[in-house]
């Protein structure tokens, strides 16, 4: 696991230039563990073994660190989607769409505070690499839509719009599930996985006659 070169790189630990990534990593862990309210610059710094002021060497303010943690969140989500694509290689484009959809919602339920942070209001101009990461994530959804297109299964809509519609549905479902806002009389005894499958299928087939 640890090669010599890795060790040498590790020699340049945060005391010599890698504090930035350490802070992002610790922030990510703390966000997963304790939620957004407990996430303070001072606690992150303390856990990194550094004074509460050191972060300002690498981030303009707390918001900049949060943006970096959000960016890391998009990387994690991207990994989850890639894994779903990997595990569904033999299946049909439609089944792969459902697999990716379940992966999206599963990520959302596993890392609710991350999702909230990722879709918080970070200005794209101020945090361009965050915007970039979110676009890369969307691109993974688009690739599945492209498979449907190549299989000749798409109705007459711009392919990018199809991808966006899938995205807004997945994201809306994720947020509403996390907020606990699906009434019991609708939810019944369906798991999130079943809800994703059924709702995405309804969208594929259309709501009206």
Per CB under 7 A, residues contacting DNA are: 14-17, 19, 39-43, 50-54, 56-58, 61-63
3-state secondary structure of 75: helix
Using the rule CB under 8 A, is 131 a contact of its own copies?
yes
148's contact among DNA, its own copies, none, with CB below 5 to 8 A by partner kind, is: its own copies
Q: For residues 178 and 109, is the Cβ–Cβ distance under 8 A?
A: yes
CA 105 vs. chain centroid, Å, equals 10
Nearer to its own copies, 8 or 125 (CB): 125
3-state secondary structure 50-66: CCCCHHHHCCCCHHHHH
Kindly list the distances between the CA atom of residue 83 and the CA atoms of 87, 99, 134, 194, in Å, as whole numbers in the listed order. 6, 10, 17, 19
Q: For residues 103 and 81, is the Cβ–Cβ distance under 8 A?
A: yes
Nearer to its own copies, 19 or 31 (CB): 31
Positions 132 through 191 that interact with its own copies (CB under 8 A): 134-135, 138, 148, 152-155, 157, 160-176, 178-183, 185-186
43's contact among its own copies, DNA, none, with CB below 5 to 8 A by partner kind, is: DNA
The Cα–Cα gap between 152 and 97 comes to 15
Nearer to DNA, 15 or 190 (CB): 15
Binding mask 70-109 for its own copies (x = CB under 8 A): ------------------------x---------------
The contact set with its own copies (CB under 8 A) reads 94, 112, 116, 119-124, 131, 134-135, 138, 148, 152-155, 157, 160-176, 178-183, 185-186, 198-199, 202-209
């Amino acid at each position: 696991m640890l090669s010599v070169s890795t060790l040498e790189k590790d020699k340049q630990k945060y005391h010599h230039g890698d504090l930035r990534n350490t802070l992002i990593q610790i922030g990510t862990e703390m966000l997963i563990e304790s939620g957004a309210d407990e996430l303070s610059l001072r606690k992150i710094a303390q856990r990194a073994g550094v004074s509460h002021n050191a972060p300002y060497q690498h981030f303009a303010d707390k918001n900049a660190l949060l943006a970096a943690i959000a960016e890391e969140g998009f990387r994690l989500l991207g990994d989850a989607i890639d894994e779903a694509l990997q595990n569904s290689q033999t299946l049909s484009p439609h089944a792969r769409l459902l697999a990716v959809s379940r992966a999206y919602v599963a990520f959302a339920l596993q890392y609710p505070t991350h999702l909230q942070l990722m879709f918080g209001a970070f200005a794209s101009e101020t945090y361009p690499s965050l915007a970039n990461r979110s676009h890369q994530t969307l691109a993974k959804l688009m690739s599945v839509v492209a498979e449907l297109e190549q299989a000749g299964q798409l109705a007459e809509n711009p392919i990018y719009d199809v991808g966006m519609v899938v995205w807004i549905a997945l994201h809306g479902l994720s947020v509403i599930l996390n907020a606990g806002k699906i009434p019991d009389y609708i939810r019944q005894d369906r798991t999130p996985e079943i809800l994703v499958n059924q709702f995405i299928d309804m969208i594929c087939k259309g709501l009206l006659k």
